[in-house]
Amino acid sequence: MDKSHYVMLMYLIMHLGLIFFMYPENIIASTDAVHWIAIVSGLAVQFIFIAIYMKGLNFFPGKDIIAIYGSAGLGVSLVFLVPIVLYFLMINIITVRAYSEIISIVFLANTPLWAIMILLMLVSTYIAAKGVETIFRTGLLLGLLFLPMILLIFLASFQNVDWNYVFPLYENDFTFWTRPTFYQSFFAFAGSFLFLGFVRTHFPYKDNKVYLTVLSLVPFFIFSVYVPVLTFGQNTASTLHFPYVVVIDTLQINWLIFDRITMFFLFTLITFIMLFTSLILWMTSRIVSCCKPSIKQMYYTQGLAVVIYILCLLVPDWKKVETLFTWNAPLRFYCLIAIPLSVYYLGLRSRRKMRHEHA
Amino acid sequence: MSMLKWTVRLLMLLSIMGLLSGCWDNKDINHRTLPLILGVSLQDHEYKIIMQIPELVHDSVEIKMISESGKTINQAIDKISVNLEKQVDLLHIKVIILERKLAERGMKDAISGFMRSEEISDKAYIVICDEDLNSFFEHLNKTNDPKGMTLYNFFEKNAGWNPQIAISPIWQVYRSVHSYTRDVAIPMIKAGKSTICDYTGSAVIKNGKMIERISPDETLLFNAFNEQSTQGKIEVMNHASVLVVSNSLKHTTSLQNNKPYMQSRLKLKVVILETRGNPTSAIIKQEIDKLLTERFQRLFSKIQKSKADIFGIGQHFRNKIPREELVRWRTDYFPNLQLSLKIVTDIQNEGYLKIRAD
Amino acid sequence: MDQTLQDLIYKFEDNDDFFLQRDFFADRPVYLLGLKSLIDMARSRTFIHQYLDQAISNNTALSDGALMQMLGEVRGTNLQDISSSVYDGKFIIYFEHVQQYVVAEPVPNLLSRLFDTPTNENVLQGTLSSFVEDIDHNIGIARKQFSSESLRVKSFSVGQNQQKRIALLFAEGHVDMALVEQIIGQFETYIDHDINHIQDLSRTLGLSPWGSIAKFKTTEMPQEAAHSLKTGKVVIFVDRLPFALVLPNLLWDMFCLDNDHNYSLPLMIVLRSLRIVGVLITLIVPALYVALVAVNPEVLRIEIALTVAQSREGVPYPALVEIILILLILELIMEASVRLPRSIGPTITMVGGIILGEATVAAKLVSNLLIIILAATTIANSTVVGFQNSLSIRLFKYLLLLLAAVYGVLGILAGVVIICAYVASLNTFGVPYISITRMKERGNHG
């Protein structure tokens, strides 16, 4: 049975939650003009690696990534799975801490950070503890409920746009490859496609649909950067934290019952983030529970959640969060590049082996 | 076993809730005061803040004026909050009135402060008060408006806005401070004799400082160039007065020898309201043309002299001038700009009476 | 007298409604046994005599065996067997000379309600018959409504202390046989457990009694049951429970009534969307009030914000306590109105309404905006199909309320996520709660 729509929706939701917050800031800081080149380059890199990854996975029908590495030997598994676990842990810590900070800045100024973080962690752990099918079905429900609103606000954000800011359309300027903020912008998509390798057994999906979803996210990436640039201009936009959120704040929608739609937009994205965190948590506990399968996976999930929470509490301020970002970058690129390539290589090797056996 | 586990979890959860005793952000709305209008002025290097606070007195609402001064705006607000029995929340500030002296001194810090604050919405309007802030607020208090909405409605497009009133939300002023090619005009008001306020024109703001003043009619052209609708404005000439129904603006730009040239075509659709004598429609069109063109030339030479590009003309040259050169737009290119405006009027209808077409 | 007969009489000694009578059927001496409360004795006897007279006039010579076969089922002399038949309401005829028992079907006492209109569910322009207590009647109505050859009925008799009849109906070809076999397996394993109510039934089927959302859909209407059969679900009848229990219950059933198909398609879509909106309103609006009034007032438009602030002037409690107080009173009123006899009911409702509506607001205990909100919530709550479902939703809104008081709008959304996750994690016998595409044949829009 083809359950690709679950996978597509989940992919969409995960990325929407990540795009609108820090990605515009990073891209605007990486380059002065012609942002689309930076955006498209980053996305092209991601697309290439997703394609390699999925082709590699296709060599092992019905197996998930842990089984693939397991069949190649313990050493190989350690080399690849341990960085994944570390990467996921760090992503969770960064995400929870950063988003709690954002919530605290923008709306709930008096609520202490630990209280906000506990809400995020509890909800995510609850979802993760119930298993991957629950995660995906919750994604379906949340998508049905909240995606229309997000799309509406996204379309409305074009209200104050001045298209003249688009020019110049092309410049031979590739210096963004040298800026660290460009590499930080990869946070929004690198590594989050790894879940495709974990859920094959539960939710069989068609590759084409995944490619379609990846492509359909491209306009969101582009406009999440361009809407602030077109509204404010590059100079002003580069002085802002969270430029897209500030754009939403300038919108005037007279017929809505509520005044500040920034809040609804942000909080809806935060629910998507809760889902994202829960999926990452589930994947981490899945890998860790393979070490000692006797204990039920649910306990691993809860244990990991407690560890993540405590580590989050230890991060004192925003500067530290940015440092964590930079520390996470090498892991991210390792996961982005090495994992798909290794899976593909293992796939090729196993096919060659099978051919030898048949011959 | 599972029941025990769930009971334990439930108890843990409820005990966390027990820490609700502070309930951090939970403060009932009747314990907050939500002023709509904030007045800021500068006196002796100190910021003076005036706010309108509605108070419930014997089942009716009275407006009180509270003012404080402090080294920064936030300090002054904090001082007010200390002495008030409710928490002051700037969440609903809709209009910020700055005194003219402050605008002439420079508002860059104040504007940055407003943008940085997450309490004050970026949509709030900035208005400059042409007279002493205290007397203006006293005049405001005299109007019996418990919610303080009147001044806000003055600028609201749904309510009392007119096309010759400029609108400048905070974010546009902030944008003009950093932009290479755009400046902004802020409306100026003072206490009106029989209405709440008198609109006296707009202030041209360059780099956060007020450098020039333009009249309400000129502001209309500014609005037209910024693609705001001028519907509803009445123009009075020698022989007739007309009502503008719609307007559209088209530009052609070119760059020759590093000198920018721009031809604009303003297309107006008007409706005839009153006539003096018996003019033909040709005469009326001519008169509108002459009136608006003269007004426009006056305005344009004024702003070209002060090098403030409130029309945002530089925006149209973004595809012609490379970005590094654009930094010098205001100093080098803009003073040499040649702008020719052609006005094409279309009389949409004449009402119930006929008019000669000659 | 036969030993078994003596034992029988001894067994039923304490039951004063047990009768033992001597009679002659076709000149053979018989004893008639039965429970007077379950059998209409006079009519049964008359009926049998008439039947026998007619038979004899046609056929003069009748052997014992033939006579007994005509009257009913011939049984051996097993005491347990006979006595359980007596308890079942059967008419026992003991032929003295051959010492055999015949179990006959009597004219029973009318102990069940006749077919009636549904009491707990309302339909506009739809079938008005409803299920009753007697299980055979129910199966009969179900067969009439779903008149197809593929309908199968499997019966069980469960319980140790009392024997309760359970019937399982499914449409072969529509239903997933694995599901049916699982259910049958459960019944057969736990055949000794008593089943008196739905919690017992859940336990027998191995479902957790702790779920907040009902695992069964209970319906009094035959067309609902028939529709469920057609879409591959299983219907369970329990004797003396006047409704059909449909398994598995799905999320979409909360919004769908089979009667909707009696309207045109746009109307059906609008009605269903209305129900969905109703559910969302009832969950979110009370929590939204607390969040917007206490934690995040910047979201309200300024006019409303000032009006609310004015209306809350002088109210002593914070918004959360206010709303919980009134919700509690509302719940008490709803519970009380179920208990009250019909004569007192309207009076108390009126008093409750006046207390809530006028006096509380005038005494400044709560603000009047709150009353409006609660009225809207209660009305929206009742748009949901299925009483059990509306109870579940009533429960969930408290969770959202508590979260909203601490975290504001974020709390509401987090609560929605938790509810979605809970709903997504439910499944009955492997069928997830939110599956919309169900089994083989599904109507176009069902």
CATH number of residue B277's parent domain = 3.30.300.210
Task: Give me A49's structure tokens.
Answer: 């690696």
Determine, yes or no, domain membership for B16: no
DSSP secondary structure letter of residue C38? T
Contact B3 C318 (CB under 8 A): no
How does the average pLDDT of chain C come out, rounded?
84
Predicted structure pTM score: 0.86
Q: What are phi and psi of B54, to 5 degrees?
A: -80, 140
C89 near C106, Cβ under 8 Å? yes
d(CA B272, CA B339): 29
pLDDT at A271 exceeding the cut of 80? yes
Task: Let me know if B228 is exposed, middle or buried by CB neighbors in 10 A (0-12, 13-18, 19+).
Answer: middle
d(CA B240, CA B279): 8
Task: Let me know if C285 is exposed, middle or buried by CB neighbors in 10 A (0-12, 13-18, 19+).
Answer: middle
Task: Identify from B5, B108, B116, B122 which residue to disrupt to test chain A contact, counting A C-beta atoms within 10 A and taking the largest count.
Answer: B122
Contact C306 B91 (CB under 8 A): no
Same domain, B167 and B225: no
pLDDT at C342 exceeding the cut of 90? no
pLDDT digits (tens, 9 = 90+) for A305-316: 999 999 988 888
Q: DSSP alpha helices (H): ranges in chain A?
A: 4-30, 35-58, 65-71, 74-106, 113-129, 132-156, 180-184, 207-232, 234-237, 243-249, 261-289, 297-313, 318-358
Determine, yes or no, domain membership for B116: yes
Same domain, B149 and B102: yes
Chain B residue numbers touching C305 (CB-CB < 8 A): 29, 34, 92
- The partner residue sitting opposite A236, judged by closest CB among B121, B179, B316, is B179
Cβ contacts of C75 within 8 Å, gap of 6 or more: C81, C82, C85, C100, C101, C102, C103
Task: Give me B99's structure tokens.
Answer: 């005194």
Contact B24 A260 (CB under 8 A): no
Range of the domain at B182: 29-214
Strand partners, C31: C22, C94
Provide the shortest C-alpha distance from residue A132 to chain B (in Å).
Answer: 20
Range of the domain at A16: 4-358
- pLDDT value at position A93? 92
Residue C441 confidence class, pLDDT cut points 50, 70, 90: very low
Q: Between B5 and C202, where is the model more confident?
A: C202
The DSSP bridge pattern shows strands C234-238 and C18-25 to be unpaired
- pLDDT value at position A294? 81
pLDDT digits (tens, 9 = 90+) for A158-214: 988 888 888 777 777 788 888 888 888 888 876 678 888 888 888 888 888 889 999
Cα separation values, C58 from A124, C46, C52, Å: 82, 19, 10
Same domain, B181 and B240: no
Percentage of chain A modeled with pLDDT above 70: 99
Contact A264 C409 (CB under 8 A): yes
**For B91, which residue in chain C has the nearest alpha carbon?**
C298
Chains touching B by CB (3 or more pairs below 8 Å) = A, C
Half-sphere exposure of A121 (CA within 13 A, CB side): 28
Q: Is C308 on the interface with B (CB under 8 A)?
A: yes
Residue B17 confidence class, pLDDT cut points 50, 70, 90: low
C27: left (phi over 0), alpha (psi -120 to 50) or beta: left
Question: Which range has the worst mean pLDDT, A223-232, B159-168, C418-427?
Answer: B159-168
Residue C264 confidence class, pLDDT cut points 50, 70, 90: very high
Is-cis flag, bond preceding B163, omega within 30? no
pLDDT digits (tens, 9 = 90+) for A12-70: 998 998 888 888 988 998 888 888 888 998 899 889 999 999 888 888 887 888 888 88
Chains touching C by CB (3 or more pairs below 8 Å) = A, B
pLDDT at A334 exceeding the cut of 50? yes
- pLDDT value at position C414? 93
CATH number of residue A260's parent domain = 1.10.4160.10
Could you say which of B214, B244, B260 is where a domain stops? B214
pLDDT at C182 exceeding the cut of 70? yes
Task: Give me A242's structure tokens.
Answer: 């969270």
The DSSP bridge pattern shows strands B60-70 and B87-88 to be unpaired
Determine, yes or no, domain membership for B71: yes
Mean pLDDT of C434-445: 46
Place of tokens 């297309």: B267
Question: Which range has the worst mean pLDDT, B140-144, B281-285, C130-134?
Answer: B140-144
d(CA C375, CA C370): 9
- pLDDT value at position B20? 54
pLDDT at B22 exceeding the cut of 50? no
- pLDDT value at position C60? 66
Mean pLDDT of B247-264: 86
pLDDT at C444 exceeding the cut of 50? no
Task: Let me know if B14 is exposed, middle or buried by CB neighbors in 10 A (0-12, 13-18, 19+).
Answer: exposed
- pLDDT value at position B132? 87
Provide the shortest C-alpha distance from residue A235 to chain B (in Å).
Answer: 6
pLDDT digits (tens, 9 = 90+) for B176-197: 888 888 888 899 988 888 887 8
**For B327, which residue in chain A has the nearest alpha carbon?**
A235
Mean pLDDT of C305-330: 83
d(CA B10, CA B3): 10
Cβ contacts of B221 within 8 Å, gap of 6 or more: B292, B295, B296, B299
Chains touching A by CB (3 or more pairs below 8 Å) = B, C
Same domain, B174 and B289: no
Interface of A with C (CB under 8 A): 103, 107-108, 111, 115-116, 119-120, 123, 126-127, 130-131, 133-134, 137-138, 140-142, 145, 257-260, 263-264, 267-268, 270-271, 274-275
Chain A residue numbers touching C293 (CB-CB < 8 A): none
Contact B28 C308 (CB under 8 A): no
- pLDDT value at position B1? 52
d(CA C427, CA A142): 18
Mean pLDDT of B15-28: 64
Residue B338 confidence class, pLDDT cut points 50, 70, 90: confident
Mean pLDDT of A267-286: 91
B216 near B198, Cβ under 8 Å? no
Chain C residue numbers touching A111 (CB-CB < 8 A): 406-407
- pLDDT value at position C53? 84
Mean pLDDT of B282-299: 87
- pLDDT value at position C181? 92
Chain C residue numbers touching B146 (CB-CB < 8 A): 306
Contact C313 B17 (CB under 8 A): no
pLDDT at C438 exceeding the cut of 60? no
pLDDT at C419 exceeding the cut of 90? yes
Cα separation values, A59 from A22, A53, A68, B233, Å: 36, 10, 10, 71
- pLDDT value at position B147? 63
pLDDT digits (tens, 9 = 90+) for A96-115: 998 998 888 877 777 888 88
Provide the shortest C-alpha distance from residue A272 to chain B (in Å).
Answer: 23
3-state secondary structure B182-193: CCEEEEEEEECC
Q: Which one of A89-93, A165-169, C306-310 scores highest in mean pLDDT? A: A89-93
Determine, yes or no, domain membership for B181: yes
- pLDDT value at position C283? 93
Q: Between B344 and B319, where is the model more confident?
A: B344
Task: Let me know if A17 is exposed, middle or buried by CB neighbors in 10 A (0-12, 13-18, 19+).
Answer: buried
- pLDDT value at position C238? 92
Could you say which of B167, B194, B214 is where a domain stops? B214
How does the average pLDDT of chain B come out, rounded?
83
Provide the shortest C-alpha distance from residue C310 to chain B (in Å).
Answer: 7
- pLDDT value at position A143? 92
DSSP secondary structure letter of residue B45? T
DSSP secondary structure letter of residue C115? P
Determine, yes or no, domain membership for B4: no
- The partner residue sitting opposite C434, judged by closest CB among A111, A123, A141, is A141
Tallying the residues shown for chain B, one arrives at 358
With both helix axes pointing from N to C terminus, report the angle between C64-71 and C41-58 in degrees, rounded to the nearest 10.
Answer: 130
Mean pLDDT of C340-365: 80
- pLDDT value at position C396? 92
Count of the separate structural domains present in chain B: 2
pLDDT at C121 exceeding the cut of 70? yes
Residue B23 confidence class, pLDDT cut points 50, 70, 90: low
- pLDDT value at position C439? 42
Could you say which of B157, B192, B214 is where a domain stops? B214
Q: Between C4 and A120, where is the model more confident?
A: A120
d(CA A272, CA A267): 9
Determine, yes or no, domain membership for B1: no
Task: Give me C277's structure tokens.
Answer: 């909106």
- pLDDT value at position C361? 77
Provide the shortest C-alpha distance from residue A186 to chain C (in Å).
Answer: 27
pLDDT at C442 exceeding the cut of 60? no
- pLDDT value at position C61? 67
pLDDT at A273 exceeding the cut of 60? yes
Determine, yes or no, domain membership for B17: no
Cβ contacts of B7 within 8 Å, gap of 6 or more: none
Of the candidates B132, B130, B126, the one whose C-alpha atom is nearest the C-alpha of residue B113 is B126
A88 near A335, Cβ under 8 Å? no
Count of the separate structural domains present in chain A: 1
